[in-house]
Structure 1
Amino acid sequence: MSTSPAEVRRMLHTYGRQLTSAKRLARFRRAMMPSGDQDRINISREARRRELVQRISQEIIENLIVNGSHSPVIGEILDQLETEAGSRVMLDYPLDGGDVRLLLETKAGPRELTGDEKNRILKRLWEITLAKVDDTML
């Protein structure tokens, strides 16, 4: 397929206009920004990383509780939690929209955790998840 010189010129002219428009838009945006760097909020690299780790950890815990999905990372988190708890930990999210239930497997059958014990396990689940996500991120 061959193109005529007129088509090439028209294409280059169009690209030139787009480039000029982009430059104008960039100048306009710079002019509209507040003057001075004091108005800009610069988040340090560590703070951005910490925020990202927390968001990913929250998604992992939501997937674990709501969907019950088990990826290799979730498996490692649950293994560590169960090792620390001394037995299998099951998370149950009732369909009626109630609060998440934590069940600990015992010889007599599953036992629901409540109060401080439940809060301690959930807090530990959060800490393990944060550490695991932080370790696996580049």
Structure 2
Amino acid sequence: MLANPAKVRMMLRTYGKQLTSAKRLARFRRALKLARSQDEVTISRDAKRRELVERIAKEIIENLIVSNTENPMVHRILHRLESETGKHYVFEYPLDGFDVQILEETERGPNEVIGDERLHVMRRLWDITLESVDQTML
């Protein structure tokens, strides 16, 4: 029996989304356990805000950007990254699920971004996301 390539791709995409959701849930559970085990420390209002901004930025990068969501903030972040670098990037988790994979769209097809360029793109993505979240927070 021959399998339709489009159906296979759709099935793999669905499995990938399920895997991403499972990883997100596992990270959330680990964070809950860690939060319960730490002693409560009083911190300033600015430090609380900074911590919240960083948590939201991390959630945006880990979940929304990789899921190709139609979120307007994600579009602004990716558009700014694209305008600064002059390149269009696609972010996704590979099936092994360890770290986010960055693909650069070129005329010859997608190429994986590695090495120093990958570090630079991730650093810029983090900085842009932090700035965007900080500007939109009350």
TM bucket (normalised to shorter chain) is 0.5 to 0.7
Q: What are structure 2's unaligned runs of at least 5 residues?
A: 1-39
Q: Which has the higher contact order (CA 8 A, sep 6+)?
A: 2
Q: What are structure 1's unaligned runs of at least 5 residues?
A: 1-39
Which structure's CA Rg is the greater one? Answer: 1
- Per-residue CA deviations over 1:68-116 (Å, capped at 9, x if unaligned) read 3230001100000111110211112112224321111122221211011
Residue 113 of structure 1 aligns to which amino acid in structure 2? V
What TM-score, normalized by structure 2, do the two folds share?
A: 0.66
For 1:1-138, list aligned pairs within 5 A: 41-138=41-138
What TM-score, normalized by structure 1, do the two folds share?
A: 0.66
Following TM superposition, the consecutive aligned residue runs of length 4 or more in structure 1 with deviations greater than 6 angstroms are: none
TM-superposed deviation, 1:134:
0.1
- Please tell me whether the aligned partners of residues 65 and 74 of structure 2 are also in contact (alpha carbons under 8 angstroms): no
Give aligned pairs, total: 99
The 3 A distance-change label for structure 1 pair 134 and 89 is same
Residue 84 of structure 2 aligns to which amino acid in structure 1? E
Aligned residue for 2:8?
none
